[in-house]
Amino acid sequence: MKQFIKKFESYLLNEKGSSLHTHKNYMVDLTQFFTFLSTKYPDIMSKEPSFLSNVDPNTVREYLGKMIKDRSPSSMARKLASLRTFFQFCLRKGVVPSNPAKEVATPKVPKRIPRFLTVDEVFSLIDAPSGNEALGSRDKAIIELLYASGLRVGELVDLDVDSIDLAAKTVRVMGKGRKERIVPMGEKACSAIASYLNYRAALCPESAEENALFVNRRGGRLTARSVERMLNKYIKVCGLQKKVTPHVLRHTFATHLLGSGADMRGIQELLGHASLSTTQKYTHVSLEGLMKTYDKAHPKA
């Protein structure tokens, strides 16, 4: 069973093209599911993959019922999505006759109005990092880039040094489904990143992962959770009475562009939304057009 799970993990990364963030979440969910199954079948990890045919929709429902405490509907929906993806893989490999997770209803996730910051709040947040020159410049560059380009936090932490083109003022991003896109950056973000790169070597011993753009004190690649903790620290410094996550800065990016009259299609392109596949049937927004949209509408361009 362990080897089969490793094959699924490889499928997520190499065939399905999942982001590292999605891959990590799916594998955590799958580990939790097998921990649950081991209470029913103690020797399941030594079984052949075909043993998974014993899992039916009621087993999946029972597992979700065990996991629901203190978890939001969106978290439960993701756990179900993880199982659907795994059992679809099992179905493709011929180890199960059907996908039991597909027969389980997705928890209703209430639609929420996206939270966002005002321009003044963003500027206050950007100005908050100080103190240690290496870490302070890194944190400032991260906040500038999140707001300047609307990246997902998983996309941000996956960036390498060569993902950034300061001369062209662009960043090359690997989005969901391993789809690459080029996103403009403003002058302020470029300046903040250039400043950080001058200090980055101080955080990177020779043994460190050299390619990662944003690194921690030990020279390792920053994680999404580390970025969230960093933001929370500066929110307290600013005295903002709002819950701010990296995704709130992504919403803020889009909201400020819309409020300044930017074209919706251009914003969708900048954000790398999957729904663009429909939009692109009718309209192709070139990089030059995106730069014009960005320069005209973004407050810090």
What's residue 268's pLDDT? 72
Residue among 191, 196, 146 at smallest CA distance from 173 = 146
Most confident region among 7-16, 179-188, 221-230, 273-282 by mean pLDDT: 221-230
d(CA 58, CA 20): 30
How far is the CA of 298 from the CAs of 117, 140, 160, 181, in angstroms?
A: 14, 18, 25, 19
- How far is residue 101's CA from residue 88's CA, in Å, rounded to a whole number? 9
Mean pLDDT for the stretch of residues 237-255: 83
The CATH number for 2-103, chosen from 2.40.30.10, 1.10.287.1040, 2.40.30.170, 1.10.150.130, is 1.10.150.130
Greatest mean pLDDT among 101-110, 188-197, 252-261? 188-197
Total H helices, total E strands in the chain: 13, 3
Mean pLDDT of the chain: 83
Strands (E) in 109-211, as ranges, are: 164-165, 170-174, 180-184
Q: CA-to-CA distance for 115 and 117, rounded, in angstroms?
A: 7
Known catalytic residues are 152, 176, 247, 250, 273, 282
Strand order in the sheet with 164-165: 164-165, 170-174, 180-184
> Is it the case that residue 117 has pLDDT exceeding 70?
yes
Query: What's residue 280's pLDDT?
Result: 36
The DSSP code sequence of 65-96 is: HHH-TT--HHHHHHHHHHHHHHHHHHHHTTSS
pLDDT at 172 over 70: yes
Sign (positive or negative) of CA dihedral 156, 80, 100, 53: positive
Q: What is the pLDDT of residue 27?
A: 93
Q: What is the pLDDT of residue 148?
A: 87
Evaluate if residue 276 carries a pLDDT over 50: no
Please report, for the chain, the start and end positions of each structural domain, with discontinuous segments joined by +: 2-103, 119-297
Among 1-10, 55-64, 95-104, 196-205, the minimum mean pLDDT is found in 196-205
**Which structure tokens are listed for 148?**
């300047």
Q: Quick one: which H or E segment has residue 164?
A: strand 164-165
Question: What is the average pLDDT across 107-127?
Answer: 77
Determine what percent of the chain is predicted with pLDDT higher than 70.
Answer: 84
What is the pTM (predicted TM-score) of this model?
0.62
Both tokens assigned to 224: 């999404």
pLDDT over 50 (residue 283): no
* Rounded average pLDDT over 154-169: 92
State the pLDDT at residue 22.
83
**Which residue, among 82, 146, 73, 76, has the nearest Cα to 112 in the 3D structure?**
73
| Number of neighbours of residue 108 by Cβ within 10 angstroms | 9
Spatial separation of the C-alpha atoms in residues 134 and 120, rounded to whole Å: 25
CATH fold for domain 119-297? hpI Integrase; Chain A (1.10.443)
**Which tokens sit at 195?**
């400043």
Q: DSSP characters for 235-253?
A: HHHHT--S---HHHHHHHH
Residue indicated by tokens 């600013």? 238
